[in-house]
Amino acid sequence: MSSKSEQERERLKEEYKEHYRRIKEAKERLKRTEQKGKIAKAVENMNSDNLLESVDEFLGKVRDKVTHVEARLDVAMDSLDDDDSEISNKVKQEELDEELKKQKAKQTLKQVKAEMGMLYNEIEKHADEIRTEKTIGNKKSPSDSADSKSTDNSSEPNK
């Protein structure tokens, strides 16, 4: 009898398991149908006009932002162009200043050379007035060198 009661017990156990399985499946189906119902209700409640209006509103905001950013970009590009032209003007001005400095230096050098030439001419005139001869830059004639040797020897004492 014990085997009959065990078999009966196993059969009941299996029936309970099956029963609980069906309950669990029913609960899951109920949840799914409730979710589907909520989704269907939300779709029904959605008004296409309101949806289109909100999409249009969103697109309008996006367009406004895009135009604002484009305007800022244009301003930035214009300022860059202005900066480039200012930089090129500065470079040109610096080149002109450099050229002006070179020209002034050349003029000053010419003036100094001219003054030195006049000074040399004045020294020559002054030397002619006091009747002196050049000692530097003149070539000595052979007779002059003999004269200078004889004068050099005369100044030395005899050995």
Contact residues for 21 (Cβ-Cβ < 8 A; gap 6+): none
Note the pTM of the prediction, 2 decimals: 0.30
Predicted pLDDT at 131: 67
Task: With H, G, I as helix, E, B as strand and everything else as coil, classify residue 1.
Answer: coil
2-11, 73-82, 83-92, 148-157: least confidently modelled range: 148-157
For the chain, percent of residues with pLDDT exceeding 70: 82
Confidence of residue 118 (pLDDT cuts 50, 70, 90): confident
Dihedral over alpha carbons 8, 9, 14, 19 (to 10 degrees): 100
Predicted pLDDT at 46: 77
- Domain segments of the chain: what residues? 8-46
Q: State how far the alpha carbon of 85 is from the alpha carbons of 45, 71, 73, 79, 146, in Å.
A: 61, 21, 18, 10, 78
The pair of structure tokens assigned to 62 is 């996006």
Of residues 1 and 91, the one with the higher pLDDT is 91
Instruction: Give the span between the Cα atoms of 152 and 150, in whole angstroms.
Output: 5
